[in-house]
Structure 1
Amino acid sequence: MGRYNQVDLAYEFLSQKEKSGESFTITELAVATGWKQKTCGTYPSKRWHQYVHKDGSHFLTSGIQFLSKEEFRSVHSQKLQQVSDQSTKGMLLHKAREFALLAVSTYNNPYTEFKTYGYIVNIIIAYTALFHAIFEKQGVGYFHLKDNGDPILIDGEEKAWELMECCNRYWEGVEKPEKYNLKFLIGLRNKIEHRSLPAIDMAVAGECQAALSNFENLVVSEFGDEHALCTNLAIAMQLTRVSEQAQLDAMKQLQKENYKVVRHYMETYKTDLEDSIVESQQYRIRALLVPKLGNHAKSSDLTVEFINVNKLTEEERKNYEQGIAFIKGIENPYKLKPSKVMGLVKEKIPGFNMPLHTKCWKYFSARPQDDKVDFKGDYAAFVEGFDGYLYTNKWVIFLITELKKADVIAKVKKAI
């Protein structure tokens, strides 16, 4: 009998049960594969635990049918292989994966209030362990040394490089978006360590997701597909919309005094970075969640797909851009506070100030003079939560265009 004969029989048995929506017993598995019942009893909770779960006295599968036979063989054997690697490299790699999964678990837990801080702490530990495992593999010393070459000891243990030092050594002389993503998260952790700031979650979700994606790519590139996190992870459940009220509440929280230090860090960190880095998906992931329509109710294709824009044809890219334009078109356009409008217009019209802005919205009838909670116009709308009027980018463009005309700005200034 070949090495994988019984494993392949298990794969066919489990796949068929999943496709038909049927549960199974250990006895049925033993009959189908030829394994002893005692042997079969250990596999669901150990080797196959991410795909098989117990339902009373029976078992159900989820995801087996999306694995190839070769992938199932790898899943069946990889757990024992990983556990048996007791080398320093193996233990560091195991630690890295465990803390990465813990970071995701913390972030995706709906009962966790301080998601970002919990995620960053764990992902930093994960990355640090991963880099140490890489240096172990490469035979590179990753400990701090005294001037005489002796190791620096902390509580009797050699002091290893921190994540920032690991980044600088691994990407020495290379300007990588992945490096600046991690440096941003390290700095953010230091800023929020002694502050309770849950409102930043929505503001840095893209950087957090990019860090996880980069971690996965780094693990696979250095140690192979068998160490990828994807066999342990599912796509996090997403709400189909984030309420305007929730966005406004987060914006208002970020403007409070206790957010001042963190807000300043977030606003200034990117100013010294090249546009190519800031716009990279490795620095910050920007994603649009789009419902996918299937041709058939029982279609077995994936419901979520990640698309590499660089691999699209010109026609596909054009359709992609049209899709983005459509989604942007249905976003809430009322986002600009009066002070923001003033700042944007002032860049093009020197001398523009808040009193002149007030004259403008009155002169052009951009909004009512009193508060009308149901008002929504082309240029402004009353937004509950903000309890005032917010403006559109269209209003900014309109003002810049009109106020460049000498006769128009003269009339506006004379208006009451």
Structure 2
Amino acid sequence: MDAPMSRYDKVDLAYEFFKEKESLSESFTIKQLADATGWTEGACKTYPSKRWHQYIEKDGAQYTTSGISYLSKAEFRAVHSQKLQQVADHSTKGILLHKAKEFALLAVSVYNNPYTEFKTYGYIVNIIIAYTSLFHAIFEKKGTAYFYLNDNGTPKVIDGEEKAWELSTCASEYWQSGASPELANLNFLIGLRNKIEHRSLPAIDLAVAGECQSALSNFESLLVEEFGDEHALTANLAFSMQLTRISEQSQLDALKQMQKDNYKVVREYMETYRNDLNDEVVESQKYRVRAFLVPKLGNHAKSADMAVEFINVNALTEEELKDYEQAVAFIKGVENPFRLKPKRIVELVLKKIKGFNMPLHTKCWKYYEARPKGIDKAFKGEYASYMEGFDGYLYSQNWVKFLISELQNEDKMKAVKQQAQ
């Protein structure tokens, strides 16, 4: 006697079908999907736009998937079962709000799953869906039209539905000043998703962990600010229990991996984007989280009202810092200030100092002794440092500021130019 069919059997077949197509970067037709799952072609035509629209894109008669490989089978079942539509508020705003919260939690689930090898892309795909739905819910609440229009003023229609604004348009509309760290954070993740969409790059996980954490924190703040404390995600989230200690060697290995040719496009995007931001945005916790996480020290042995808390270690006295040495572990995210290549230094200084070029920059670092003339792998100065993995010297943003300040003085400029090569 055959075993009874599970209600998820065909869903699981669809999941495996999509994962295979995505891994091979292949498109598929509705007939191929129907043959692989046993669903009718009619059902297969409906599901991509109604249940899987966030992961399936249509191009004529062909379909492609993006991000399904980063979902577990259980997570794909939840997406397919339309759990996102099981809400008390059945208005458009209510459905969008519930969808936003569900996909934010799904993003965290993907990122914290110890079996997910490439965390960052899976997280970004889902947090972008979450943000997009949240902004649409906000615009519904405020009565703001958030659909693209044709030249004659009629709504643009894609696959029978009005085309809504993408996240970049939503965020720019919401933060119209254009200078907010929250907007910079989202635009960074959107651009990064576009760069890594067809690349498997696990080494970037360490490099962008701070931006990913800030995106979640900003989402929570925006959600509560617009819809109230009752919608906060805090009750559904817990601190991630990491089983792997990030050693200095692991960080060096990741840095070396980032220098390989297949990382070039992503690496250059990350460097250029971050370096073009002003210092106030870069240093904001709303753009990128940098923190110590340590056990909270109670006044008494039994006072354990809270297990952990975030603290500003830089604000501690030496005596207070000693007290924290009994901590089980430090999880430390420290920004490396030395990340600018000589070419980037020239580009930034040239914006303020006319005629600045690479030969002049060489004369500058020699004149001011910003770095050794030869290779010194142990060197770490005020403005430059030798970087393993890059196998050369990189410079800090402070070097840019110093050069601009110094070279505005004509006498200093003359003295530098007279420096022998």
1:263 equivalent to 2:267? Answer yes
1:83 equivalent to 2:81? Answer no
Give 3-state SS (helix, strand or coil) of 2:295's partner: coil
Q: Return the alpha-carbon distance in structure 1 between the equivalents of residues 284 and 371 of structure 2.
A: 36
1:348 deviates by 2.9
- Letter of the 1:348 partner, please give it: W
Structure 1 158/349 Cα, relative in aligned 2: closer, same or farther at 3 Å?
Answer: same
1:165 aligns with: 169
- Letter of the 2:374 partner, please give it: H
Structure 1 244/306 Cα, relative in aligned 2: closer, same or farther at 3 Å?
Answer: closer
TM-score by length of 2: 0.58
1:254 aligns with: 258
1:243 deviates by 1.3
1:288 deviates by 1.2
Q: Return the alpha-carbon distance in structure 2 between the equivalents of residues 321 and 135 of structure 1.
A: 51
1:319 aligns with: 317
Q: Return the alpha-carbon distance in structure 1 between the equivalents of residues 337 and 176 of structure 2.
A: 41
Q: Return the alpha-carbon distance in structure 2 between the equivalents of residues 331 and 215 of structure 1.
A: 21
1:174 deviates by 4.3
1:299 deviates by 2.2
Contact 1:346 1:352 survives alignment (8 Å): no
1:288 aligns with: 292
Structure 1 378/158 Cα, relative in aligned 2: closer, same or farther at 3 Å?
Answer: closer
Contact 1:210 1:284 survives alignment (8 Å): yes
1:335 deviates by 11
Structure 1 302/129 Cα, relative in aligned 2: closer, same or farther at 3 Å?
Answer: same
Q: Return the alpha-carbon distance in structure 2 between the equivalents of residues 389 and 155 of structure 1.
A: 52
- Out of 275, 280, 290, which is 2:279 matched to? 275
Identity of matched residues, %: 63
Alignment of 1:80-229 (within 5 A): 83-229=87-233
Q: Between 296-305 and 86-95, report the one with greater CA deviation.
A: 296-305
Give 3-state SS (helix, strand or coil) of 1:185's partner: helix
TM-score by length of 1: 0.59
Q: Return the alpha-carbon distance in structure 2 between the equivalents of residues 86 and 336 of structure 1.
A: 51
Q: Return the alpha-carbon distance in structure 2 between the equivalents of residues 145 and 331 of structure 1.
A: 44
Residue deviations 1:242-273, cap 9 Å, x none? 11221121011100000000000000002222
1:232 aligns with: 236
Q: Return the alpha-carbon distance in structure 2 between the equivalents of residues 191 and 321 of structure 1.
A: 46
2:14 aligns with: none
Structure 1 97/281 Cα, relative in aligned 2: closer, same or farther at 3 Å?
Answer: same
Q: Return the alpha-carbon distance in structure 1 between the equivalents of residues 193 and 258 of structure 2.
A: 16
Structure 1 149/291 Cα, relative in aligned 2: closer, same or farther at 3 Å?
Answer: same
Q: Return the alpha-carbon distance in structure 1 between the equivalents of residues 260 and 206 of structure 2.
A: 16
Structure 1 207/320 Cα, relative in aligned 2: closer, same or farther at 3 Å?
Answer: farther
Q: Return the alpha-carbon distance in structure 1 between the equivalents of residues 182 and 215 of structure 2.
A: 7
Residue deviations 1:102-152, cap 9 Å, x none? 000010111101100000000000000000000000011110011111100
1:41 aligns with: none
1:24 aligns with: none
Q: Return the alpha-carbon distance in structure 1 between the equivalents of residues 306 and 260 of structure 2.
A: 43
Residue deviations 1:357-385, cap 9 Å, x none? 15xx6xxxx98xxxxxxxxx999xxxxx9
- Letter of the 1:290 partner, please give it: V
> Across the two proteins, how many residue pairs are aligned to each other?
283
Residue deviations 1:160-202, cap 9 Å, x none? 0000000111111342110010000000000000111010000
1:302 aligns with: 306
Contact 1:100 1:126 survives alignment (8 Å): yes
- Letter of the 1:319 partner, please give it: T
- Letter of the 1:302 partner, please give it: M
1:295 deviates by 3.8
Residue deviations 1:54-88, cap 9 Å, x none? xxxxxxxxxxxxxxxxxxxxxxxxxxxx9311110
Q: Return the alpha-carbon distance in structure 1 between the equivalents of residues 318 and 243 of structure 2.
A: 22
1:346 deviates by 7.0
Q: Return the alpha-carbon distance in structure 2 between the equivalents of residues 98 and 195 of structure 1.
A: 26
Contact 2:110 2:122 survives alignment (8 Å): yes
Q: Return the alpha-carbon distance in structure 2 between the equivalents of residues 354 and 281 of structure 1.
A: 31
- Letter of the 1:216 partner, please give it: E
- Letter of the 2:269 partner, please give it: Y
Structure 1 320/171 Cα, relative in aligned 2: closer, same or farther at 3 Å?
Answer: farther
Give 3-state SS (helix, strand or coil) of 1:146's partner: coil
Bigger radius of gyration among the two:
1
Contact 2:293 2:309 survives alignment (8 Å): no
